[in-house]
């Protein structure tokens, strides 16, 4: 099977309730970030996202994150670059109990925050995976 660059094979994508609350609902209901995340989720769950998925760096990132086995997608969907797509989702690839592969939602947030005290979506995902922010 040959996949187009940035495409995924048929795979179950799960947005956990607690993760969604902590990652997306931390933003005000009418904030641009939350509105973009909610729209992107509808498109992902509706099967309308065919391209844009990218493998996260496993180790050695300048920010110290280790996201082996993870994929990301920029939000708003279909956009590239920090100015067009300032937000992102990070998902972890997991083997389901039935042997099927799935993607579990880990984090949402700014890809490259302007505020140096803000954590990036990648740092937030690292914390979910490792129980702490990167050093």
pLDDT of residue 7: 59
Q: Is 23 among the domain residues?
A: yes
Helix (H, G, I), strand (E, B), or coil: what is residue 91?
strand
Say if CB 19 and CB 37 are below 8 A apart. no
What confidence score (pLDDT) does residue 1 get? Answer: 45
pTM: 0.89
Instruction: List the chain residues with pLDDT less than 50.
Output: 1
pLDDT of residue 4: 59
Is position 81 within any domain? yes
Nearest to 25 by CA among 41, 47, 43: 41
Identify whether 31 is preceded by a cis peptide bond (ω within 30 of 0): no
Does residue 77 lie within any of the structural domains?
yes
Q: What size, in residues, is the chain?
A: 135
Domain contains 88: yes
Residue 4 lies in a domain: no
5 in a structural domain: no
Full domain range(s) for residue 28: 12-130
- The predicted pLDDT at position 71 comes to 94
- Strands 70-75 and 54-55, by their bridges, are antiparallel
Q: Is residue 6 part of a domain?
A: no
Which pairing describes strands 70-75 and 87-95: parallel, antiparallel, or unpaired? Answer: antiparallel
Domain count across the chain = 1
What 8-state DSSP symbol labels residue 57?
P
Q: Is residue 135 part of a domain?
A: no
């Amino acid at each position: 099977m040959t996949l187009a660059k940035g495409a995924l094979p048929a795979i179950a994508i799960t947005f956990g309730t607690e993760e969604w609350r902590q990652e997306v609902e931390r933003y005000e209901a009418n904030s641009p970030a939350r509105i973009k995340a909610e729209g992107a989720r509808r498109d992902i769950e509706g099967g309308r996202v065919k391209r844009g998925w990218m493998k996260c760096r496993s180790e050695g990132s300048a920010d110290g994150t280790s996201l082996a086995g993870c994929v990301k997608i920029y939000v708003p969907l279909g956009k590239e670059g920090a100015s067009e797509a300032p937000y992102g989702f990070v998902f972890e690839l997991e083997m389901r109990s039935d042997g099927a592969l799935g993607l579990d939602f880990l984090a949402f947030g700014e890809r490259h925050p302007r505020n140096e005290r803000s954590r990036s979506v990648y740092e937030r995902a690292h914390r979910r995976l490792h129980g702490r922010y990167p050093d």
